[in-house]
Amino acid sequence: MNIGFDAKRAYHNDTGLGFFSRVLVELLASYHPEHRYFLFNPKPGSMFRPQASHIQEVQPSAPLHKILRGAWRSKWICKDLKRLQIDLYHGLSQEIPSGIHTTGIPSVVTIHDLFAELYPSDFSFISTKIYRSKMRYACKYANRIMAISEETKRHITNTYHINPSKIDVAYQSCDPIFSNIVSEEKKERIRAKYNLPREFFLHVGTIIERKNLLNICKALQLVQQEIPLPLVVVGKGGAYKKKVKQYLADNRLQDKVIFLTDALAAAGKKPFVETEDFPALYQMATAMIYPSFYEGFGLPIIEAMSGGVPVITSSTSCMPEIGGDAAFYVHPEKPEEMAEGFRKFYGDALYRQQAIAKGFINVQRFAPEVYVQSVINIYQAALNNK
């Protein structure tokens, strides 16, 4: 079978959608080498270099398509899908090409979240309109919808009035490197590379209001006399980050939070953590805290648990669905509950070890082979429903 993918994010995105795209394509190619995988990429990119011979990158070739690459990806790509005899097309990031339903080629669209519907203030007015329009179109015309959590499925059903029987939930898997337990020697190299403290709490995610860093900082203030550990923050930010930094300055907590992206840039280094270094970064942490107000999935939860790192996360949205019985749950608006999580994982060694053990069990639900099979099942349902 020839399977086509919208690969823009795979080649150009260094956050969640990019990781999702790269991991899925490589897992499918590994577990099902009998298929051919065509990655439709509107322009050259360096973030993805798959080595398998049955993975092929496709870029626009016609002169006009090279000039109007966005239009090629959004509509004109349908001609290339037919030319390459694509049997199934998967829109990996919430959209499918306009008119694909008229080609006879069945399609699947992955809907990760409905941020543009639920948090429009996080986007510009134009971006919100575009995202909403593309998601509505994809949900209407795709043969199957792949939701990454039951939470996301509920939002699709309620917001776009889609029959839930058209939506399949496929819990994603994280990159297998997160399951590799890092040696102490390598941890020391990574510690020196990023100038990290001996012990710390960790927060991974874009610094926006929905990710809730300000309340994490308020929790740190509550335990500053009890727990000496700083918080390492990995992620970019804008106006909200300034608000957080002002809070830290007002409360003399600047030395309690390390904005790693800023620190790397100030040192003249690449302002991001390299993918292969993330497992060590997680595994050096006493705990990872992720009290978002809303997520479509919450990938850092399983990235942390896969490497034996306990997790503090929200009792709302999809987080309990993903964290199972292994996480310490807090209300995202209650710093005092986050502070209690800090105390438990810092001061109670037995509790921490029990949480780690539960985490290893919990992540088996997201094992690569389980994930790949669920996606293949969705593809078969789409082929049967064309």
Supply the angle between the helices 349-362 and 335-347 in degrees, to the nearest 10. Answer: 100
Q: Is 345 left (phi over 0), alpha (psi -120 to 50) or beta?
A: alpha
Q: Are residues 337 and 373 in the same domain?
A: no
CA distances to 139, 142, 281, 375 from 381, in Å? 15, 12, 39, 10
pLDDT > 70: percent of the chain? 100
Cα Dmax for the chain = 66
Q: Are residues 163 and 23 in the same domain?
A: yes
Cβ neighbours of residue 202 closer than 8 Å, sequence gap 6 or more? 231, 232, 234, 281, 282, 285, 287, 288, 289, 304, 309
Answer whether 370's CB lies under 8 Å from 376's CB. Answer: no
The whole-angstrom separation of Cα 229 and Cα 223 is 10
Q: Residue 140 maps to which CATH number? A: 3.40.50.2000
Number of domains in the chain: 2
Q: Are residues 83 and 201 in the same domain?
A: no
Q: Are residues 46 and 189 in the same domain?
A: no
Answer whether 367's CB lies under 8 Å from 173's CB. Answer: yes
Q: Examine the pLDDT at 332 and tell me if it is beyond 90.
A: yes
**Residue 291 identity (one-letter amino acid):** P
Reported as a pLDDT band with limits 50, 70 and 90, residue 13 is confident
Reported as a pLDDT band with limits 50, 70 and 90, residue 272 is confident
Instruction: Write the burial class of residue 42 (CB in 10 Å: 0-12 exposed, 13-18 middle, 19+ buried).
Output: buried
Q: Are residues 320 and 186 in the same domain?
A: yes
Query: What pLDDT digit, counting tens, does each position of 133-155 carry?
Result: 999 999 999 999 999 999 999 99
The whole-angstrom separation of Cα 122 and Cα 372 is 32
Q: Are residues 340 and 228 in the same domain?
A: yes
Residue appearing with tokens 């990019």:
18
Residue range 346-363: average pLDDT? 97
Residue range 66-75: average pLDDT? 93
Q: Examine the pLDDT at 104 and tell me if it is beyond 80.
A: yes
Q: Are residues 33 and 69 in the same domain?
A: yes
What was the pLDDT predicted at 124? 85
Q: Are residues 353 and 378 in the same domain?
A: no
Pick 19 or 230 by higher pLDDT: 230
* Mean pLDDT over each residue of the chain, to the nearest integer: 94
The whole-angstrom separation of Cα 2 and Cα 248 is 53
pLDDT > 90: percent of the chain? 84
**Residue 20 identity (one-letter amino acid):** F
Q: Which residues span the domain enclosing 249?
A: 176-365
Q: Examine the pLDDT at 331 and tell me if it is beyond 80.
A: yes
Beta bridge partners of 175: none
The whole-angstrom separation of Cα 236 and Cα 252 is 22
Reported as a pLDDT band with limits 50, 70 and 90, residue 322 is very high
With H, G, I as helix, E, B as strand and everything else as coil, classify residue 181. Answer: coil
What was the pLDDT predicted at 342? 98
User: What sign does the dihedral 157-158-161-163 (CA atoms) show?
Assistant: positive
The whole-angstrom separation of Cα 50 and Cα 310 is 32
Q: Are residues 293 and 308 in the same domain?
A: yes
The whole-angstrom separation of Cα 183 and Cα 240 is 36
What was the pLDDT predicted at 296? 87
- Number of C-alpha atoms within 13 angstroms, CB side, residue 334? 12
Angle, vertex CA 204, rays to CA 202 and CA 206, nearest 5: 140
The whole-angstrom separation of Cα 91 and Cα 359 is 31
Reported as a pLDDT band with limits 50, 70 and 90, residue 386 is low
Q: Are residues 182 and 115 in the same domain?
A: no
Q: Are residues 197 and 117 in the same domain?
A: no
Query: What pLDDT digit, counting tens, does each position of 220-244 carry?
Result: 999 999 999 999 999 999 999 999 9
The whole-angstrom separation of Cα 294 and Cα 118 is 9
Q: Examine the pLDDT at 116 and tell me if it is beyond 90.
A: no
Residue range 81-94: average pLDDT? 96
Q: Examine the pLDDT at 110 and tell me if it is beyond 90.
A: yes
What was the pLDDT predicted at 32? 97
Instruction: Write the burial class of residue 207 (CB in 10 Å: 0-12 exposed, 13-18 middle, 19+ buried).
Output: buried
The whole-angstrom separation of Cα 251 and Cα 261 is 22
Q: Are residues 289 and 356 in the same domain?
A: yes
352: DSSP letter: H
